[in-house]
A and B are shown apart, each in its own frame.
Chain A
Amino acid sequence: MSLSTATINRSTVNEKMMKTLKSVFNKVTNTLILPAVGIAIFLVLWSITAASIHTSLGEFPGPNAVVKQFSALYDEHNTEREKAEAFYDRQDIRNAKKLAKNPDFVVKTRSYTGKETFFDQILTSLITVTSGFLVAAFIAIPLGIWMGLSAKLNSAINPIVQIFKPVSPLAWLPLVTMIVSALYVSDDPMVSKSFLTSLITVSLCSLWPMVINTSIGVSSIDSDLLNVSKVLRLPTFTHIKKIVLPASIPMIFTGMRLSFGVAWMVLIAAEMLAQNPGLGKFVWDEFQNGSSDSLARIMAAVVVIGFIGFLLDRIMLVLQRKVSWDKSSASV
């Protein structure tokens, strides 16, 4: 009797252990092993396919060539930095000498004019996309809130939004370039024209998802919450601050994430044509350069562009989780 209970107990314990083991195993498989397998298969397919494609610039780069170019780009970056440092050292010494000779000498410092490295270009791209996105958000969110609050304004503006939303950045770019050249005339420009052109193009394209999502978020607030506000006779500004904004934050963030994705895609195209020193220009320059390494370098840029896009989305997600009260809406 006691023996049989013991066996039953042991078997249930064993079952429990098996269950936990299984769930741990499933977790590991889903989060680590399966993605790794997917990537490995992709890399193999890539190598095989790449080896069989011959272009005028040589064989299409496989994963190996791309990794090699990554380290080459990193080395170039370091040498360029060393050169810059050497330049500034020389300049300082020269200026010090001139000052020693002539105390009235006005010191002139010139900045180093070497070419931007891959990493400089990444930084430029990040600055441009963030500025463009912020400009868009600054316009889109208040506009979206206003449209969400007023059905009449929504009816008036919605057609315009729907028509401009699908327009490609490449269509805007010539127009923006001409307008910037015509209007942005200054002897001592704060930012370069190419930067401004890319920025405006990015803003124009990333505006719409934010406008649409914000206005939908605001117009779909639970009518009970609006009635609470009415019963309390909240003044308009308090109403927006205390009820409308928090209630629509999840939707606003969804729009912002969509917009940031659009902005990053648009940016590469805009930089290519506007010649703003960023990742897009890097790709274009390499393409024009046409060396045997070019394709591998472009492929390296593609990988980096993908990773940065992914990272930006994750940053937005983390931000959303921090700001929004509705944690369920901040899912991957």
Chain B
Amino acid sequence: MTTTNTITNTTTNITADNNKMIKEEAFLNISKIDMAFPTPSGSFTALKDVDLQIKKGEFISLIGHSGCGKSTVLNIVAGIYQATKGGILLKNKEVNEPGPERAVVFQNHSLLPWLTSFQNVQLAVDQVFSKTMSKAEKKEWIEHNLKLVHMDHAMHKRPDEISGGMKQRVGIARALAMQPEVLLMDEPFGALDALTRAHMQDSLMEIQKELNNTVIMITHDVDEAVLLSDRIVMMTNGPEATIGEILDVNLPHPRNRLALAENPEYNRLRSAVLTFLYEKQRKVEVMPTAKTAEKTDIEQQKNNVA
């Protein structure tokens, strides 16, 4: 009796060690998460079995059609939502509430409109470094971060006095000022015009090179994903969305958008993402006519066969 017990114990120990080794490699481990939301007509499974291991300093893009649950993944990593199954491990510690070590850059900047850029960053710095920094150090740190995103000229302006791109910069500065282990960005440049977006992408690459942050970014923009990421995680359509394919981007740094335009590898990656999005995971827009309904049925059958 005792011998059998020891044997089973050792086997479990071995498997535990094995798991530990895999998990230790991953800085951030998104471990087989399911997410179901209760709705009046029963539970709705938004995510099914999403599993992803991320190394320190890696830049990950999440791409997929709208409504596929990209934001849900990000919110679970942020700790704002709790996964119904599975979990998040950051440096082998389970994540179950929001915290400044997983700073979020929200889609619509979400700066406090009654505070200046400086004060918005200050709110974060005061909270995170309340005990470790002196007043002068905090001030310097706030200014440093605003300088990093090139916003030092408008430090004392309120959000309604600066442009959309500038607001997003301040949002990034606020997140960076928390010195997060992971930077989570939910379509940070989605609301910006093309020129400002390109400019912000360049700034982000610059900052990433300097600080070597671990980043998860949601995007709709294929070029943005290829330009910025180390890996592109492509998600299938919901419900029960999961990771469809992962694409490694091995383009050398620093990346230049003009030079890349003619790079065959860049174009291969780009078309790989496009193929995934518009052929394999084509979003079926159902129109309320008999003809289109037939058509989509046929298409779905085709997809099923594929």
Contact = CB atoms under 8 A, between A and B. Distances in A.
Contacts of A309: none
Interface magnitude class on chain A: 10 to 19
Contact of B103 (A222, A231, A243): A231
Contact of B100 (A227, A231, A325): A231
A246 B114 contact: yes
B100 A232 contact: yes
A32 to B, nearest CB: 32
Interface string B146-180: 00000000000010000000000000000000100
B45 interface: no
Contacts of A224: 106, 108, 110
A228 B106 contact: yes
Interface string A246-260: 110100000000000
Contacts of B103: 231
A224 B178 CA distance: 17
A233 B114 contact: no
B261 interface: no
A326 B78 CA distance: 30
B93 to A, nearest CB: 15
Interface stretch (B11-19, B120-128, B204-212, B265-273): B120-128
A234 interface: yes
A238 B130 CA distance: 13
B110 A325 contact: no
A325 to B, nearest CB: 3
Interface of B: 78-80, 97-100, 102-104, 106, 108, 110, 112-114, 123-124, 127-128, 158, 178
User: Which 7 pairs of residues, A with B, have the shortest CB-CB distance?
Assistant: A325-B114, A224-B110, A230-B98, A231-B98, A246-B114, A232-B127, A224-B106
Given A225-B110, A227-B104, A234-B127, 19 more contacts: A225-B112, A227-B98, A227-B106, A228-B104, A228-B106, A228-B112, A231-B98, A231-B99, A231-B104, A232-B100, A232-B124, A232-B127, A233-B98, A233-B99, A238-B127, A243-B112, A246-B114, A325-B113, A325-B158
